[in-house]
Amino acid sequence: MRADARRNRARILAAAEEVFTAKGSGASTEEVARLAGVGIGTVFRHFPTKEDLLKAIVTASVLRLAEQTQTLLAEGEPQEAFFAFFAGMVEQAAGKKAIVDLLGDAAADLDSANPVNAWRQAIEALLSRAQRFGGVRDDIGPPEVLAVLLGTCQAALSVGWDDALQERVLTIVFDGLRPR
């Protein structure tokens, strides 16, 4: 791939994230092209379908998340790393309707080539370690955590959502996740 092509790809991804994040996945591909400063044809050359483009920005998001998780895993305090990750994700979700929606769809796809797997595995690692150290109750597994996590991310998209509400909601959810 030529240098300019790679540069264009990155600009398209950034533009798509901004546009779809702001206006939902119903925004037009042409607007993405305009923001990226490329022709519409260039967008379709890199992502043959609008859906491909949407998937790509989810993938990018997920990879960033998985990376953050690595840092948390490497650090101490295993009981709290899990909660820190959870809170961080909810924090980032606010205002990104399109991405949260798509992430939900992607999480369901068990295809082994799915980049979401990296993210899922990171969560599993955080979870099992936190459980081993008594930070999280023992009677739940990854599916419950994923469901509660994504549900809370969706909640973060509500209109009245702010830092104070976020804190209280997380208190509820975290109390539910801790051992009794």
What is the binding site for DNA (CB under 7 A)? 1-5, 7-9, 26-31, 38-42, 44-46, 48-51
Residue 90 CA to residue 134 CA, distance in Å, equals 23
Minimum CB–partner distance for residue 105 and DNA (Å): 16
Give every CB contact of residue 99 below 8 A, 6+ residues apart in sequence.
Answer: 17, 20, 21, 57, 58, 61, 93
Query: Which of 160, 155, 61 is closest to 102 using CA atoms?
Result: 61
Radius of gyration for the chain, computed over Cα atoms and rounded to the nearest angstrom: 18
Query: Which C-beta is closer to a copy of itself: that of 23 or that of 168?
Result: 168
Minimum CB–partner distance for residue 64 and DNA (Å): 23
Residue 72 CA to residue 66 CA, distance in Å, equals 10
Query: Which C-beta is closer to DNA: that of 4 or that of 139?
Result: 4
Minimum CB–partner distance for residue 136 and a copy of itself (Å): 10
124 interface partner picked from DNA, a copy of itself, none, CB below 5 to 8 A per type:
none
DSSP H helices, the chain, are 3-23, 29-36, 40-46, 50-74, 78-93, 97-108, 116-132, 142-155, 163-177
Give every CB contact of residue 116 below 8 A, 6+ residues apart in sequence.
Answer: 58, 59, 62, 103, 106, 107, 109
Minimum CB–partner distance for residue 40 and DNA (Å): 4
177 interface partner picked from DNA, a copy of itself, none, CB below 5 to 8 A per type:
a copy of itself
Minimum CB–partner distance for residue 148 and a copy of itself (Å): 6
138 interface partner picked from a copy of itself, DNA, none, CB below 5 to 8 A per type:
none
Report the interface residues with a copy of itself, using CB under 8 A.
Answer: 26, 104-105, 107-108, 137, 139-140, 143-144, 146-148, 150-155, 157-161, 165, 168-169, 171-177, 180
